[in-house]
Structure 1
Amino acid sequence: MSNEELAYDFSPGIKVYKDGRVERLQGTDIVPPSTDPKTGVQSKDVVISQEPAVPARLYIPKSTTTSSPQTKLPLLIYFHGGGFCIESSSSPTYHNYLNALVSDSEANVVAVSVDYRLAPENPLPAAYEDSWAALKWVASHSDGNSSEDWLNSFADFQRVFFSGDSAGGNLAHNMALKVGCEGLAGVNLIGIVLVHPYFWGTEPVGEELTAPAAAREIVSALWRFTYPSTSGSDDPFFNPGKDSKLGELGCVKVLVFVAEKDILKDRGLYYSEILKKSGWKGVVELIEAMGEGHVFHLEDPTCDNAVAMEKKIVAFLN
């Protein structure tokens, strides 16, 4: 067997060879935390747990160093995308995105960008376990005297939000559901923002039937690749419509973004509809960006639709 024989090919994201070698084609660049010269946003990396290794990157806006007396700010916990198998909280894409969001003078939030172990080396549910561990670590600061001073000093634990894009949107939803079912001591989760969330299901919804079969197959194949022990595309982690606990979602408002040219668009629409019918008592709002594809806002953060998205998220956080 040549060592160039492929076992899995999810280009342009990741390839896995039959000899076990994993080649990530994107999402491997990293940038250090910093004080951003343009915006004054400060960031730093923290270690949430050693075993397994779960890091996170924290962000505080310039206002924390200039305003006094210190008012506590809403806390945004962010889960990055990348199909559960690429990207990190220290990638330029997410570092720049969080910098921009935190620096928005209307937002004025403290942010925690969660890292989690990636598949296939660490198959799901590792990312769910790490994300929950990160949330418990964050919550341990709600009394104002845990290990991380920025959270102790600046975060308002009565105004907490989760957000994420793609696989990170899946994580944000599932973590909010866990909060609703199990509670998270000291934390009041107000809302979640799901950007082009990575959901699916065995039965096509909306216009999915008209999408190319190969594209549909990639969505479900990637899920099986990252979660080999899954029950399939109707796993409640992947298809919230199959989750009997959906009505227990642990927040009062949800903002869902979809993009017209994204194969996941109809899943976002479907999620919004089933959430309304689930017995959940909150309010869900859905916004569609016309003419755009999956996570367009990360690729072109200054385009009109990306700017409009940021404005909407900022208003939601306040």
Structure 2
Amino acid sequence: MDSDDGVDIQIFDFLRVHRSGRVERLRGTEVVPAGDDAVTGVSSKDILIDTETGVSARIYIPNLHNLHYDEPAKLPVLVYFHGGGFCIQTAFSPTYHTYLNSLSSEAKIIIVSIDYRLAPEHPLPVAYNDCWEALQWVASHSNAAGPEPWLAKFSDLGRLFLAGDSAGANIAHHMGMRARAENLKKGLKIKGIVLIHPYFWGSEPVGEENVGEELRRRLDELWMFLCPESDGVDDPRINPIAKGAPKMDGMACEKLMVCVAEKDAMSSRGRVYYERLKEMWGGVVELVVSEGMDHVFHLEEPSSGKAVEMMTKVVAFLCS
């Protein structure tokens, strides 16, 4: 029997690492092409950001055919980081393509969805660094500059937003913190950040968190699998409220929205994060709670009443 048949590591129901080192992703591998969306009228295309790392993005723009290059309309920009536990999913998946087409259409916003490198082939902090470089690349399009014409011609980077779900929300938090510590190119400021069901964790329960021992053990192990250099789940990268974590009064935006789902195992983490941020930070903080729902339900059931309700609130945040 080929030794590759043996599974060395099983990560929940979505990833296996075989004894040979081969990584088998059981979910989040399907992709769909970019193009014009008949339902929303949004156009999209794929671009390569870094030739050395292969980091790329899918850009969405609403009503492209109604925009004019001679007198271009200026639209706000949302940089989006997909979820998937840092180890599955892609910016080109049908799940994110459907969601971001709708979001771009409803918010009338340009979206740059980043396809960062995944663990375990590229363990953390690679994803954070990829996303920071991608954010810097977006910022380089200020004042009609930069290589991407949709951004150079149509973007208003004075209205720059960040968002992400799950692991992507974790990334968005850290990009907001890093933007204050290191500054974006051209001195750009982030107007707002949306964290949807953020993937935060820690060694001790918080709030009303009630997670069984088995799930807690598996979530602990997942973090160490993703970030082998870490000392554990009180690493500030996964636990931003841990003792010794950077103070959140350094968040580099004007306002921030935290979305949590009641049945999500990490819901209490999101609520406590919201409370800490509200106490420590001078910006506007909003909490959106989806009662009776679970982690990233809005991606799995985008037409459900709760998903539509959350979309409405996210759109309002981006448009205000």
Range of TM-score over shorter length: over 0.9
The 5-angstrom pairing of residues 190-229 of structure 1 reads 190-208=191-209, 210-229=210-229
Q: What are the superposed Cα offsets for residues 20-56 of structure 1, whole Å, 9 maximum, x if unpaired?
A: 1211001101111111112211100111001111010
Q: What are the superposed Cα offsets for residues 57-109 of structure 1, whole Å, 9 maximum, x if unpaired?
A: 101001x43256433111000000000000000011111111111111xx110
Match of residue 188 from structure 1: 189
Match of residue 299 from structure 1: 300
1:282 aligns with 2:283: yes
Aligned-partner SS, 2:49: strand
Q: What are the superposed Cα offsets for residues 150-207 of structure 1, whole Å, 9 maximum, x if unpaired?
A: 0011111110110000000000000011011111133220110000000011111123
- Tell me how far 1:121 sits from its aligned partner: 0.5
Distance 1:21 1:158 in 2: 44
Distance 1:126 1:40 in 2: 34
The 8 Å contact of residues 256 and 272 in structure 1, kept in 2 or not, is answered as: yes
Distance 1:87 1:176 in 2: 22
- Tell me how far 1:2 sits from its aligned partner: 4.0
Q: Which amino acid aligns with 2:110?
A: V
Unaligned runs of 5+ in 1: none
Q: Which amino acid aligns with 1:290?
A: E
Unaligned runs of 5+ in 2: none
Distance 2:166 2:264 in 1: 11
Match of residue 161 from structure 2: 161
Match of residue 257 from structure 1: 259
- Tell me how far 1:215 sits from its aligned partner: 1.3
Distance 1:307 1:193 in 2: 16
Q: TM-score, normalised by structure 2?
A: 0.95
The 8 Å contact of residues 181 and 249 in structure 1, kept in 2 or not, is answered as: no
Q: Which amino acid aligns with 1:244?
A: P
Distance 2:181 2:92 in 1: 31
The 8 Å contact of residues 261 and 294 in structure 1, kept in 2 or not, is answered as: yes
- Tell me how far 1:218 sits from its aligned partner: 2.0
Q: What are the superposed Cα offsets for residues 216-264 of structure 1, whole Å, 9 maximum, x if unpaired?
A: 2222211111111012111111111132332100001110111111001
Q: Which amino acid aligns with 1:30?
A: V
- Tell me how far 1:11 sits from its aligned partner: 3.0
Q: State the identity as a percent.
A: 50
- Tell me how far 1:149 sits from its aligned partner: 0.3
Match of residue 312 from structure 2: 311
- Tell me how far 1:212 sits from its aligned partner: 1.2
Q: Which amino acid aligns with 1:255?
A: M
Aligned-partner SS, 2:295: coil
Match of residue 4 from structure 2: 3
RMSD: 1.3
Distance 2:123 2:185 in 1: 28
Q: Which amino acid aligns with 1:257?
A: C
1:247 aligns with 2:249: yes
Q: Which amino acid aligns with 1:137?
A: W
Q: What are the superposed Cα offsets for residues 116-140 of structure 1, whole Å, 9 maximum, x if unpaired?
A: 0000001000100100010111111
Distance 1:232 1:109 in 2: 38
- Tell me how far 1:5 sits from its aligned partner: 2.7
The 8 Å contact of residues 202 and 234 in structure 1, kept in 2 or not, is answered as: yes
Match of residue 47 from structure 1: 48
Aligned length: 313
The 5-angstrom pairing of residues 65-214 of structure 1 reads 65-67=65-67, 69-104=71-106, 107-186=107-186, 187-208=188-209, 210-214=210-214
The farther-off stretch of 7-16 and 297-306 is 7-16
Q: Which amino acid aligns with 1:260?
A: E
Distance 1:247 1:202 in 2: 23
Runs of 4+ in 1 over 4 A off after TM superposition: none
Distance 1:90 1:67 in 2: 24
Distance 2:75 2:258 in 1: 23
Distance 1:294 1:266 in 2: 12
Aligned-partner SS, 1:3: helix
